[in-house]
Structure 1
Amino acid sequence: MRINHIIIVLFLTVFTACKKDSKTEIRSISIEEDVVFLASDELEGRQTGTDGEKAAAEYIAKRFENLGLTAKGTNGYFQTFSFKPKTDPHQEVNYTVKDGDSTITGTNVIGFLDNKAENTIIIGAHYDHLGYGAEGSLYRGETQEIHNGADDNASGVAVMLNLAKKLALENTGNNYLFMAFSGEEMGLLGSNYFTKNATIDLSKANYMINMDMVGRLKEDKTLAVYGVGTSPVLKQVVKANNSKFKIIENESGVGPSDHTSFYNSDIPVMHFFTGQHEDYHKPGDDTQKLNYEGMDMISNYLFNIISDLDDNGKLPFRKTKNESDNTPRFKVGLGVIPDYLYDGKGMRIDGVSEDKAAQRAGLQKGDIVIKLGDSLVTDMNSYMRALSSFEEGDKTKVVVKRGDEEVEKDIEFQKF
């Protein structure tokens, strides 16, 4: 098979070992090299259960092995799970499938660094993506194209591997469980399965760090950190170790990534994210658009946080008020990608979808929505509350700040 041949060649050329001081040393693999492999066309977008995803799993397992991590899956480094895709987004996933049609098998990849400590820190990132444009794709082209998912989420896996290398040498106050999750794009399936079928004692889990889309740090160095309210010490440690980033904090332990599964298991979590962009869930999410220097900065920042917490013992868990519980339901969309890292007044537009209401009205990337209909927009929540009052076909006016000017446009809403 072509993909397996590529992996074998990669192993022979990349994982070059030499003997020194009676220890085997492996040539250091850069963050960029990991991303380039995982987001290559040959892996065909790493959709859950495909040959491309299996090839990525083999690669990550080999990286774990050469970093000195022991296997902690149910079959070596691998923990497989079979399921039927949900037909109703609100239904529970059936992981136990017998001779079922359309059954998919995902594979979590799990490595363990045993420091003989009492507690274990879980560090994870999902590695699956959308293949040629599975459900969730925002691409509207006429022909299928590979969604390589360089930022989403080869970036998180690469930073996780970089952290594993650093932690193999220092900070022995905890054990470390490194996990590459499958099935995230289909509903956090791999992390959810692990928490229900854990290969370690989860009562000994200290806290969980998740990285999902950490590859596009912007010039202002804005970095979102979610989950800071899930343990009393987290806000302080996030702030104390920061000298380079503009941190946007969110207390909630619930969000659209794998940290949610661990928060729901009463484990403190921190989720790191550099923001959405116009290539999100599209074929344009490719390797050349990533900020590799920024990813290295994030890796160092996480290492410093872990180092600071090394002698803190087991962190207490705290439930948070989950903002998603109060999110208004809406039937229409403006057709924009919000800038979730913007902390000014209003809702800044980070991208405009083709042939949607915003584009037809002449709204642009960088516009800041300050009024929608009769409602003032001061932040993301007020924007969503305003949007929830409209139905398909409704017409209103939107006011945006564009540079130093206020611009008014007519909007006709389309179905979300």
Structure 2
Amino acid sequence: MKKIVFLAIVSVTLFGCKKTTTYKNEIKEDVAYLANDKLEGRQTGTKGEKLAADYLVNRFQNIGLEPKGSDGYIQSYSFKPKTDPHKEVEFTTNADSTITGRNIIGYINNNAKTTIVIGAHYDHLGYGGEGSLYREKDKAIHNGADDNASGVAVLLDIATRLKIKNEQSEIKDKNNYLFLAFSGEEMGLLGSNYFSKNPTIKAKSINYMINMDMVGRMKADSTLAVYGVGTSPMFKQTLKANNEKFKLVQNESGVGPSDHTSFYLIDIPVLHFFTGQHEDYHKPGDDSEKLNYDGMNLISDYIFDIIVDLDDNGKLAFRKTKNESEETPRFKVGLGVVPDYLFDGKGMRIDGTREETPAFAAGLQKGDIVIKLGDSNVTDMMSYMRALSLFEKGNEAAITIKRGDSIIDTRVKF
């Protein structure tokens, strides 16, 4: 009789102590912290990056994710900064002037054979440096609210929702989930590169990888770019079946300037979500109050639905795609504009111009669509870059733009 009573007490006690996660949308709060001036732009290896890392460790703990780094939630790596931009970075602990970055890694273990990696980079440019497009002489903090506090905030929201889903369901999902906040992205995809070579789970168990980089500036037409759709045969139909809100711009290539590339290169299907560049890209003006939080909520909903939809499809087949980055022409001059990468019409639409540039001197404006440069017709971004590659500094060229319903011919000097 005592044994039965004891078992009953243990059962009640265990049930009463069981941790349950309650949902609270903290996307705005997460961005506000990560993009605050006190983090000084979260440059890899700085005090600000460490503050961001500590914050993410705390958030992972509160969500209830298991630690899956090499030291708790943290996977540290040290590297020697590149002096030759064409060489790979050297990961080392035996050199002077090494920098240490930190990946933050959390895990939901469903005892499944396969794991989905959900990632976003949390580092940015600090006070600017080589990657900055800020041309003033004074130093200024580059807070990187869109790039990429936005992606990290959506990652945390999805982690919370998947944790709750698993707690409330009697049937576990058929995938485990690994949440990866990368550092070193702005220095050359260093954190994801290091993880791909030193994974904290079996690399062959990774089903596919979802990357979110700059998902905070959705425009009024609800355009959402998704890259990597050709890396698995399942992706296109799944994206379409779950889409009710977005004008999707899809790109098949698994290679691009963000962390999904590191996973594609080890034969893992990838999807990268992106709401487009803007005039504050890599400048001090990329601040939290400029983000479209309703749009970020919709993106979180969409990615969550995609993950749920793909759960019973087993391990996805991987497919190599055409590497568009290898076909990109090299050019010696620039027009001085921010292209609208989400434009899917004919030509290259300008999303912003910078002062003291050829475009600004020629009177080009935001919203103009370049349809001819020199003797070359411009039908899309690739043809624009091919046309630009034909010119050198000091050359002049005719340029034709469409502004509203008007066609304007002018000249530009590089």
Q: What is the CA–CA distance in structure 2 between the aligned matches of 1:355 and 1:120, rounded to whole Å? A: 49
Structure in which a larger fraction of residues adopt helix: 2
Cα drift, residue 84 of structure 1 = 1.0
| Counterpart amino acid of residue 234 in structure 2 | V
Cα distance, 1:167–1:147 mapped onto 2, change above 3 Å: same
Matches of residues 112-127 of structure 1 in structure 2 within 5 Å? 112-127=107-122
Equivalent residue number for residue 370 of structure 1: 371
Equivalent residue number for residue 11 of structure 1: none
The one of 21, 33, 39 aligned to 2:35: 39
* TM, length-normalised to structure 2: 0.93
| Counterpart amino acid of residue 167 in structure 1 | L
Cα RMSD over matched residues? Answer: 1.3
Cα drift, residue 30 of structure 1 = 1.3
Cα distance, 1:27–1:118 mapped onto 2, change above 3 Å: closer
Cα drift, residue 410 of structure 1 = 1.3
State the secondary structure of the residue aligned to 1:401: strand
1:82 to 2:78 alignment: yes
Equivalent residue number for residue 381 of structure 1: 382
Equivalent residue number for residue 246 of structure 1: 247
State the secondary structure of the residue aligned to 1:143: coil
1:84-119 CA distance string (max 9 Å, x none): 111111101110141x33211000000010011110
Query: Number of residues paired by the alignment?
Result: 394
Q: What is the CA–CA distance in structure 1 between the aligned matches of 2:344 and 2:227, rounded to whole Å? A: 14
The answer to whether the 8 A contact 2:21-2:163 is kept is no
Q: What is the CA–CA distance in structure 2 between the aligned matches of 1:203 and 1:275, rounded to whole Å? A: 32
The answer to whether the 8 A contact 2:92-2:98 is kept is no
Equivalent residue number for residue 147 of structure 1: 142
Matches of residues 88-127 of structure 1 in structure 2 within 5 Å? 88-98=84-94, 100-127=95-122
Q: What is the CA–CA distance in structure 2 between the aligned matches of 1:66 and 1:393, rounded to whole Å? A: 58
Q: What is the CA–CA distance in structure 1 between the aligned matches of 2:238 and 2:21, rounded to whole Å? A: 33
1:323-379 CA distance string (max 9 Å, x none): 112111111100001000000000000010221110011100100000001111011
Structure 2 gap segments, 5+ residues each: 1-14, 167-172
The answer to whether the 8 A contact 1:349-1:364 is kept is yes
Cα distance, 1:25–1:260 mapped onto 2, change above 3 Å: closer
Structure 1 gap segments, 5+ residues each: 1-18
State the secondary structure of the residue aligned to 1:399: strand
Q: What is the CA–CA distance in structure 2 between the aligned matches of 1:24 and 1:111, rounded to whole Å? A: 17
State the secondary structure of the residue aligned to 1:272: strand
1:324 to 2:297 alignment: no
1:274-296 CA distance string (max 9 Å, x none): 00000000000000100001000
* TM, length-normalised to structure 1: 0.93
The answer to whether the 8 A contact 1:116-1:175 is kept is yes
| Counterpart amino acid of residue 281 in structure 2 | Y
Matches of residues 381-400 of structure 1 in structure 2 within 5 Å? 381-400=382-401
- Structure index of larger Rg: 2
Cα drift, residue 27 of structure 1 = 7.2
| Counterpart amino acid of residue 63 in structure 2 | L
Equivalent residue number for residue 303 of structure 2: 302
Q: What is the CA–CA distance in structure 2 between the aligned matches of 1:117 and 1:58, rounded to whole Å? A: 29
1:150-177 CA distance string (max 9 Å, x none): 0000000000000001111336110000
Equivalent residue number for residue 56 of structure 2: 60
1:174 to 2:175 alignment: yes
Q: What is the CA–CA distance in structure 2 between the aligned matches of 1:263 and 1:273, rounded to whole Å? A: 17
Q: What is the CA–CA distance in structure 2 between the aligned matches of 1:381 and 1:33, rounded to whole Å? A: 38
State the secondary structure of the residue aligned to 1:112: strand
The answer to whether the 8 A contact 2:254-2:323 is kept is yes
1:296-318 CA distance string (max 9 Å, x none): 00000001100110100000100
Equivalent residue number for residue 4 of structure 2: none
The answer to whether the 8 A contact 1:39-1:154 is kept is yes
Q: What is the CA–CA distance in structure 2 between the aligned matches of 1:97 and 1:240, rounded to whole Å? A: 48
The answer to whether the 8 A contact 1:26-1:66 is kept is no
| Counterpart amino acid of residue 304 in structure 1 | D
Equivalent residue number for residue 198 of structure 1: 199
